[in-house]
């Protein structure tokens, strides 16, 4: 079956792209995958998006991979290329790219499609950090509509899958997105995700869901609402307030990868099952195993950021968090995770 992610069941639920977070290991965890490495390795993917393993969430969930540099892809930087590898069970996947040169962006997308067949590409036009925006990347592209248009057009011409764009409401003026969304639609973008804050706001203030609604009303392509949607209840509220085709969730999924399952249950009118402590530990173990598969022994330290999210705000979990932040081997982490079972 070839999946067209534009035809995903509505409302769409999306795991938002997060640098250093939405890697293959985390995306698989979000998809609710529990397959062992062996069974995954035995799957082959020879044409775009042949989905052999549909998870119960697949009809409405898409995951956006963390951004990668188009320049690094074109230079064939090994670390960057590895970041674009797709495990069949994670599909449908949208790979996000950042960059400012339309030809380089197009070439990077072409190379990734040729190698890994993601179901779509996303262009980062929302990142506010200095090392990205100072070179016309990320949110700076909102001030460069001609360049943004060229990027969308050239990427669309270079690949066979849809191309979406993630934006903020503006650089400093939150109305900027209204015109800019039209620019993107006219350029051929297949979908837009709007984070309801300006670049200048960074993460301060609240995501402006009313402004996102205005964007949705101005374009005819699908729009995903993003920003401050951290629970199933907030998802329903955001969908109602924005009228969007779906939501994109970032921080709400960290240490909480089952959120999409819970939202999906709620949307289907079912009562969602709360996640028990032991289930949390079990998911951490699976995620850790995927993480180690991906990064090897150094994953023991890079997994700590996830530990902090999984154990955040849980009474009685502090001592485990402290232990998990100092141990150095895979065995020690697994030992502590096993020790945690039945304790809270």
Ligand X SMILES: Cc1cc2nc3c(=O)[nH]c(=O)nc-3n(C[C@H](O)[C@H](O)[C@H](O)COP(=O)(O)O)c2cc1C
Binding site for ligand X (CB under 6 A): 16-19, 21, 66-67, 96, 124, 126-127, 166, 195, 226-229, 249-252
Q: How far is the CB of 99 from ligand X (least distance, A)?
A: 13
177 is catalytic: no
- CB distance 198 to 172 below 8 Å: yes
Least distance to ligand X from the beta carbon of 123, Å? 9
Using the minimum distance from each CB to ligand X, give the nearer residue, 71 or 340: 71
Q: How far is the CB of 252 from ligand X (least distance, A)?
A: 5
Long-range contacts, 329-333 (Cβ 8 Å, 24+): 329/297, 329/300, 330/292, 330/297, 330/299, 330/300, 332/300, 333/288, 333/300, 333/303
The three-class DSSP label of residue 30 is: helix
| In contact, 197 and 203? CB cutoff 8 Å | yes
Report the C-alpha gap between 101 and 203 in whole angstroms: 27
| Closer by beta carbon to ligand X, 49 or else 132 | 132
Pairwise CA distance, residues 61 & 10, whole Å: 10
When the beta carbons of 191 and 281 are compared against ligand X, the nearer one is 191
Q: How far is the CB of 250 from ligand X (least distance, A)?
A: 3
d(CA 248, CA 13): 6
State the catalytic residue, choosing from 27, 127, 177, 244. 127
User: For 260, left (φ over 0), alpha (ψ -120 to 50), or beta?
Assistant: alpha
Least Cα distance to 291 among 303, 282, 305 occurs for 303
What minimum distance in Å lies between the beta carbon of 226 and ligand X? 5
CA–CA distance, 185 with 200 (Å, rounded to integer) = 24
Question: How many angstroms separate the CA atoms of 186 and 165, rounded?
Answer: 13
21 vs 108, which CB is nearer to ligand X? Answer: 21
How far is 228 from 183, CA to CA, in rounded Å? Answer: 26
Residue placing its CB nearer to ligand X in the complex, 74 or 250:
250
Closer Cβ to ligand X, 108 or 340, answer by number = 108
Q: CA of 93: how far to CAs of 16, 86, 136, 209, in Å?
A: 11, 8, 26, 26
CA distance to 130, 146, 277, 281, 310, per residue, from 153 (Å): 26, 11, 48, 45, 40
Q: How far is the CB of 185 from ligand X (least distance, A)?
A: 19
Catalytic residues: 127
């Amino acid at each position: 079956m070839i999946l067209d992610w534009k035809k995903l069941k509505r409302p769409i639920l999306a795991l938002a792209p997060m640098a250093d977070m939405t890697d293959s290991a985390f995306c698989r965890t979000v998809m609710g995958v529990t397959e062992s490495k062996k069974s995954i390795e035995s799957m082959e993917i020879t044409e775009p998006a042949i989905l052999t393993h549909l998870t119960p969430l697949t009809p409405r969930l898409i995951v956006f991979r963390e951004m990668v540099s188009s320049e690094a892809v074109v230079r064939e930087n090994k670390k960057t290329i590895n970041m674009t590898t797709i495990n069949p069970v994670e599909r449908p996947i949208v790979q996000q790219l950042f960059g400012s040169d339309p030809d380089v962006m197009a070439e990077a997308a072409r190379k990734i499609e040729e190698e890994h067949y993601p179901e779509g590409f996303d262009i980062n036009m929302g990142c506010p950090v200095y090392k990205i925006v100072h070179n016309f990347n990320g949110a700076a592209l909102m001030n460069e509509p001609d360049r943004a248009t060229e990027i969308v057009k050239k990427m669309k011409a270079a690949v066979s899958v849809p191309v979406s764009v993630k934006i903020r409401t503006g650089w400093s003026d939150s109305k900027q997105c209204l015109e800019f969304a039209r620019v993107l639609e006219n350029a051929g973008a297949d979908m837009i995700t709007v984070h309801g804050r300006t670049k200048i706001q960074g993460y301060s203030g609240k995501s402006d869901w009313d402004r996102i609604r205005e964007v949705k009303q101005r374009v005819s392509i699908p729009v995903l609402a993003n920003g401050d949607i951290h629970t199933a209840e907030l998802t329903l509220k955001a969908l109602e307030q924005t009228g969007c085709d779906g939501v994109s969730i970032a921080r709400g999924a960290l240490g909480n990868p089952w959120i999409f399952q819970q939202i999906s249950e709620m949307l289907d009118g079912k009562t969602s099952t709360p996640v028990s402590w032991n289930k949390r530990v079990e998911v951490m173990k699976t995620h850790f195993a995927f993480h180690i598969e991906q990064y090897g022994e150094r994953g023991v330290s890079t997994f700590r950021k996830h530990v902090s999210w999984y154990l955040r705000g849980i009474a009685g979990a502090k001592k485990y968090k402290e232990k998990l932040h100092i141990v150095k081997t895979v065995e020690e982490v697994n030992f502590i995770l096993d020790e945690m079972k039945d304790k809270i």
